[in-house]
Structures are given as C-alpha cells and as structure tokens.
C-alpha cells in the first residue's frame, strides 16, 4: 500500500485500486470557533475558508462530474463515486513524463492552430483553461503507458470545460509531446 497526502485529499494505492479520500478541515473550523475568530465567516474570506474546509470534497465531486459528463479517454475512470471517497483503477506510468513546463507553450497554440480559424479569443480561452487547471498538468498527475496519456488528478475547475471543448486535440498533442520527450530520454 502506498499513501500520498495532498493538499485536499489523501490518496491510497491499494492493489489495483486508487482511493481518494477528501480531507475536511474540521480542526480549523473548531479552532476558529473556540478562539471566537469568525473571520472564517467574513464575506471576503468565505471562498478561501470553504476551499480549506471542503476542497477535497469539491475535487472529488468535480472528478465525478467531469468523468461521467465527458467519459473522455484522457481521464482515468471513476469506478465507485462516493463523494467523500472515490475509487479508481490504478494506472501505470504515473510521473514518467516531465511536461508541465512545456504544456502551456507547446500544446495550447497547437490546439488553437488545429481548430477552425476563429477569433483570437478562442486561443485566450484555451490558455485561460490551462491556467485555471494548471495543477492537472503537473508531472505526477499524468499517466503515460502503452502509448496512452491519461489524467489521474482532474478535480480542478476548468478541466471539464477543457476536455469538453478540446479533449481530442489535447490528447493528440499530449501524445506527440510525450512521445518526443520519451524519445529524447532514450537517446
């Protein structure tokens, strides 16, 4: 068994399964109430506090929504969605490609160039989605195995929109970038 503690979730790899457990920061909530520090409930701090308290739950829900709405082959499937705990199949090849530095500048323009020549705003939309869900493109959140690229952590805002609008082109270009990188490693 392997355990990884992320910012908002605890990930357990057990045999052929990956279990993502949402962290809920009850400790912070109770500490702030006991200290009578109600900044948690201030309008300016509400979003940050909500993410601190329920970020893992939100990420699990977004992964469920993203997968079951798009069912795109770029996404590792959610086998058992239980909201607080989601279960996925274990995939191989996680973290073998270091592409996060090249993703924004290599893949986004290619997606734009492949599409129908539209307004410049489409390119800005693509870049906006990339920046909004940049954590998804970290090296440890990809699987590259048997010529397939998959996202293993796609609970950020913007991923569903990115997959819905550009999933096929994104997959094609990720495979090209990954293939070039992997080929460069073997030289």
Note the pLDDT of residue 140: 74
Going by the DSSP 8-state scheme, the letter that residue 152 receives in this structure is: S
Note the pLDDT of residue 187: 47
This prediction has a pTM of: 0.76
Note the pLDDT of residue 122: 60
Residues of the chain with pLDDT under 70: 28-29, 32-49, 52, 95-134, 136-137, 139, 179-187
Domain with CATH 3.30.200 in the chain: 2-89
Note the pLDDT of residue 13: 94
Note the pLDDT of residue 44: 47
Give me the CATH code for the 2-89 domain, please: 3.30.200
What is the distance between the alpha carbons of residues 32 and 175, in angstroms, rounded to a whole number?
47
What is the distance between the alpha carbons of residues 18 and 16, in angstroms, rounded to a whole number?
7
């Amino acid at each position: 068994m392997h355990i990884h503690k992320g910012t908002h979730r605890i990930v357990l790899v057990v045999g052929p399964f990956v279990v993502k457990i949402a962290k809920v920061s009850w400790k912070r909530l109770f500490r702030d109430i006991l200290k009578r520090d109600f900044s948690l409930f201030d309008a300016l701090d509400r979003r940050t506090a909500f993410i601190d308290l329920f970020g893992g739950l939100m990420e699990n829900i977004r992964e469920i929504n993203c997968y079951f709405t798009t069912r795109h082959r770029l996404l590792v499937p959610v086998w058992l969605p239980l909201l607080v705990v989601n279960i996925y199949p274990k995939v191989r090849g996680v973290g073998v490609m270091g592409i996060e530095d090249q993703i924004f500048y290599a893949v986004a323009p290619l997606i734009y160039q492949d599409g129908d020549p539209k307004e410049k705003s489409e390119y800005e939309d693509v870049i906006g989605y990339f920046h909004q869900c940049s954590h998804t493109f970290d090296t440890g959140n990809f699987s590259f195995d048997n010529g397939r690229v998959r996202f293993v952590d796609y609970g950020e805002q913007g991923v569903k929109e990115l997959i819905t609008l550009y999933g096929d082109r994104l997959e094609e270009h990720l495979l090209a970038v990954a293939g070039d990188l992997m080929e460069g490693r073997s030289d």
